[in-house]
Amino acid sequence: MNRYDRQIRLPEIGREGQEKLLTSSVLCVGAGGLGSPALLYLAAAGVGRIGIIDFDRVDESNLQRQILYSNAAVGQLKATQSADRLSALNPAIQIDAYNEELNAESAARLFPVYDIILDGTDNFEAKFLINDAAVKYGKTWIYGAIQGFDGQASVFNYKGGPCYRCLYPEKPSQPVMNCAEAGVIGAVAGIVGVTQALQAIQIIAGHPSFEILSGRLWRVDTRTMHTQILNIQKNRACVICSREPNAIVPQYASPVCGAVSEISVRRVKNKVNYVLIDVREQEEWDKGSIKGAILWPLSKIIAGHMPESYRGEEIILHCQKGKRSMQAVDILRAHGFADVKSLSGGYEAWLEDAQ
Ligand SMILES: [Zn+2]
């Protein structure tokens, strides 16, 4: 207990709170900018069992904010690397590494095992899935998000409180950029990730003086350091938390507004059952193409010829760099293709990833 002496001294934690921490479990979805600081503090505080689910590998451009990883970890699996780091920090706790993507299947398998789910993801789709699954399996989850210099955090599905879909029933129709696209300072991710870890610790310790961020959205503008807390009402007609758990089908986002326009190479390579369509022109295709892709040039789409035989399937479009395929996504959606995305970075990103 010497390890935890400084927090046990706090009357709000004490020996009782420490025992609760040691017998509790947290699953962190994503070991990136939010997950890194959150996981370090949860492990240091002695949360007895910590799960990490992440399918990604460490990239050099992650190191600026993903403080779990050393330079030597570049190219390695995040789940494994972070588990090693956390075990080195605190060998007395159990760390489970899941090198896989969060989807309805993995959520069904993993969520019931843990007490609390901590969101370390950077996109709406994953947050919707976490929310739906958390409500279905009766788990509180701790939300965090950053956009530029703005950060926010909240706690959903806590003791009958609102869920994320009470706040956002559908995905915003405007595409929202993630960190990789919009840019971020690591310290801002740190503020939010640490706030999430603190919420988890407070929920577990359960002292009455802790006012958990349930029904409240905490926001900080780190340019001015102004913070505010907005109240979130529980929506009695919420599409998720007003339903019977058995009736909830966790999904990434409603297909109606499911306007995630881009998908990463890594994510596509972890996928099965999709149609990959190359929207470049014939002469580009002749110089090289992705195995299994189908050629359907943008010029043909613009001329009004849609890939009708793939209607209803999950379609991923790609071009050379990812720009023309975005245009093609818009056109296909306008023609009623519901599930269509653009491969981020296009053919060049695909080749780069293979190396
Ligand atoms: Zn709800």
Question: Which residues are the active-site residues?
Answer: 179, 319
Looking at every residue in the chain, the average pLDDT score rounds to 91
What distance in angstroms lies between residue 147's CA and the mean position of ligand 1's atoms?
A: 23
Band (pLDDT 50/70/90 cuts) for residue 134 is very high
- Phi, psi values for residue 26, rounded to 5°: -135, 135
Regarding predicted confidence, which is higher, 253 or 134?
134
Distance CA 332, CA 339 (A): 9
Residue 296 has pLDDT above 60, yes or no: yes
> How far, CA to CA in Å, does 31 sit from each of 80, 101, 337?
10, 12, 33
Band (pLDDT 50/70/90 cuts) for residue 337 is confident
Check if the beta carbon of residue 135 is closer than 8 Å to that of residue 235.
Answer: no
Radius of gyration of the chain (CA): 21
CA nearest to 102, candidates 120, 80, 84, 116: 120
pLDDT of residue 333: 79
Strand runs (DSSP E) across the chain, as ranges? 25-29, 49-53, 94-98, 116-119, 140-147, 150-156, 216-221, 226-231, 262-263, 275-278, 294-295, 315-318, 340-343
The arithmetic mean of pLDDT across residues 274-300, rounded, is 94
| For the chain, percent of residues with pLDDT exceeding 70 | 94
CA nearest to 197, candidates 50, 95, 98: 50
pLDDT of residue 256: 35
Kindly list the strands in the beta sheet with 226-231, ordered across the sheet, starting from the edge strand earlier in the chain.
94-98, 49-53, 25-29, 116-119, 140-147, 150-156, 216-221, 226-231
What distance in angstroms lies between residue 238's CA and the mean position of ligand 1's atoms?
A: 5
Distance CA 118, CA 110 (A): 13
What distance in angstroms lies between residue 90's CA and the mean position of ligand 1's atoms?
A: 36
Per residue in 219-256, pLDDT (tens digit) is 999 999 999 999 999 998 888 999 888 888 887 654 33
Collapsing DSSP to helix, strand or coil, 187 comes out as helix
The arithmetic mean of pLDDT across residues 292-314, rounded, is 91
Of 13-17, 167-171, 207-211, minimum mean pLDDT range: 167-171
Judge if pTM exceeds 0.85: no
pLDDT of residue 271: 83
Alpha carbon 239 to chain centroid, angstroms:
21
Distance CA 104, CA 181 (A): 26
Residue 3 has pLDDT above 60, yes or no: yes
What distance in angstroms lies between residue 164's CA and the mean position of ligand 1's atoms?
A: 6
What distance in angstroms lies between residue 159's CA and the mean position of ligand 1's atoms?
A: 12
Per residue in 44-76, pLDDT (tens digit) is 999 999 999 999 999 999 999 999 999 999 999
Band (pLDDT 50/70/90 cuts) for residue 338 is confident
